[in-house]
């Protein structure tokens, strides 16, 4: 039986060339798989037909937008996931859902190899291959760009020689990856970290410096999941899509950072994630109202580790799955409304309301009606500071003893 290779297919030049390249290098049939995670662009059926025209033995397309939003973006919101306190895991979140469908297709077609178009310098090669090995340890992974030295000029020459139905001359100065949760831009003049981004880098957001009226939105959560905008019920996908439009129109979610890649390289990345930043900002504020102090303190440690695991491609790891349980439990009472003003590139919380609130007005107020018994404070401070007081007394005795010698 002819060997079969399942290829993660985007429809662009590199993965289109990969179809014939893999077939020639391995003698295998190639099954192309295109997964829609809200990246926009061409119709999935057009992409499927292109894969077949480029020599794929079969091609499958998957509309995974709702799945991606519900099962991958929502957990990131519940975890307030910001890698290096900035990046909302735009690309990192999409890889495991793509991996899931690659493995399912490999099982369906009895394929023993999965291929992707990543280079040997980035994070995505790890995310794909670590994810595949977690779900199907018996599958082999190959990466033509990395393993077979498939450079872009060689890819263009191959496409032209084979007459592949794909544009080979027009090239963006940037490397772009996008999905419904955001957009990542790198390379080109951005590789000089002194150069500032120019407006043509951006697509999801408008210039925040342009004058415009502010937009006010109320986001409703149930157990950490966004369920309504301005009182109108939405799915997680709709929440992200609508906030992409509204927050993006206000320039919210632009990020320019030097990032620590898993492979040890520092990389300059420009991101725009208006919906993601608006949702995480709102969710984090609602947690401040509804999550008990010690649980909130510990969750901040857990969510940082969760974020690092997802960034590093360990979505399917035992530790990440265990942390999922903690994060879900911590979101048990994160329900209510957050009012935000979107304007000038910022999402600013202006109001909070929750039936699960731990904020007690009568305890917090300094005015008439204060129910906090301030007479308890003096004794509390004495006990709270007792251990450090005793240690300080010991230090003073030691100093006095040393001075007397």
As annotated, the active-site residues are: 14, 95, 124, 175
8 is in an annotated binding site: yes
What's the sign of the alpha-carbon dihedral 289, 293, 299, 304?
Answer: positive
259 is in an annotated binding site: yes
SS3 assignment, position 348: strand
Question: Could you give the CA distance from residue 130 to residue 134 in angstroms, rounded to a whole number?
Answer: 6
335 is in an annotated binding site: no
370 φ/ψ angles, rounded to the nearest 5 degrees: -60, 125
The pair of structure tokens assigned to 33 is 């798989």
Question: Could you give the CA distance from residue 59 to residue 41 in angstroms, rounded to a whole number?
Answer: 18
- Decide: 104 and 240 in contact? Cβ < 8 Å: no
Q: For the purposes of burial, counting CB atoms within 10 Å of the CB of 35, is it exposed (0-12), middle (13-18) or buried (19 or more)?
A: buried
175 is in an annotated binding site: yes
87 is in an annotated binding site: yes
386 is in an annotated binding site: no
The residue length of the chain stands at 405
313 is in an annotated binding site: no
10 is in an annotated binding site: yes
76 is in an annotated binding site: no
What's the sign of the alpha-carbon dihedral 280, 322, 316, 65?
Answer: negative
3-state secondary structure string, 260-296? ECCCCCEEEEEEECHHHHHHHHHHHHHHHHHCCHHHH
11 is in an annotated binding site: yes
331 is in an annotated binding site: no
- Decide: 292 and 358 in contact? Cβ < 8 Å: yes
Question: Could you give the CA distance from residue 193 to residue 350 in angstroms, rounded to a whole number?
Answer: 35
290 is in an annotated binding site: no
325 is in an annotated binding site: no
89 is in an annotated binding site: no
- Vertex 314 angle, CA 309 and 317, to 5°: 105
Annotated binding site for L-aspartate: 119, 123-124
Annotated binding site: 8-16, 87, 117, 119, 123-124, 127, 175, 259, 271
Annotated binding site for L-citrulline: 87, 123, 127, 175, 259, 271
Annotated binding site for ATP: 8-16, 117
């Amino acid at each position: 039986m002819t060997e079969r290779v399942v290829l993660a297919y985007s429809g662009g030049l590199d993965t289109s060339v990969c179809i014939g390249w893999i077939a020639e290098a391995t003698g295998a049939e190639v099954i192309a798989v295109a997964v829609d995670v809200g990246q926009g662009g061409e119709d999935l059926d057009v992409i499927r037909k292109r894969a077949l025209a480029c020599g794929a033995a079969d091609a499958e397309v998957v509309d995974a937008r709702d799945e991606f939003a519900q099962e991958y973006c929502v957990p990131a919101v519940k975890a307030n996931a910001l890698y290096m306190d900035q990046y909302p895991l735009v690309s990192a979140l999409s890889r495991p859902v793509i991996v899931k469908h690659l493995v399912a297709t490999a099982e369906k077609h009895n394929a023993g190899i999965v291929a992707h178009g990543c280079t040997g310098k980035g994070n995505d090669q790890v995310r794909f291959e670590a994810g595949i090995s977690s779900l199907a340890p018996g599958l082999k992974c190959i990466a033509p760009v990395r393993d077979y030295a498939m450079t872009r000029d060689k890819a263009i020459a191959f496409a032209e020689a084979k007459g592949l139905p794909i544009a080979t001359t027009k090239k963006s100065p940037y490397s772009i990856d996008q999905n419904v949760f955001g957009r990542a831009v790198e390379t080109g003049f951005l590789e000089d970290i002194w150069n500032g981004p120019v407006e043509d880098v951006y697509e999801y957001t408008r210039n925040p410096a342009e004058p415009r009226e502010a937009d006010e939105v109320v986001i409703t959560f149930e157990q950490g999941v966004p369920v309504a905008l301005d009182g109108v019920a939405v799915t997680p996908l709709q929440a992200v899509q609508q906030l992409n439009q509204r927050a993006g129109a206000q320039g919210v979610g632009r990020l320019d950072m030097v990032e620590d890649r898993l492979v040890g390289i520092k990389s300059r990345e420009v991101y725009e994630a208006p919906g993601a930043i608006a949702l995480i900002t709102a969710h984090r504020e609602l947690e401040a109202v509804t999550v008990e102090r010690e649980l909130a303190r510990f969750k901040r440690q857990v969510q940082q580790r969760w974020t690092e695991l997802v960034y590093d491609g360990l979505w399917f790891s035992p530790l990440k799955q265990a942390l999922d349980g903690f994060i879900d439990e911590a979101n048990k009472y994160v329900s209510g409304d957050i009012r935000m003003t979107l304007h000038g590139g910022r999402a600013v919380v202006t109001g909070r309301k929750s039936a699960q609130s731990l904020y007690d007005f009568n305890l917090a107020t300094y005015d008439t009606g204060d129910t906090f018994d301030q007479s308890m404070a003096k004794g509390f401070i004495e006990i709270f500071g007792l251990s450090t007081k005793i240690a300080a007394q010991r230090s003073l005795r030691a100093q006095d003893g040393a001075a007397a010698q």
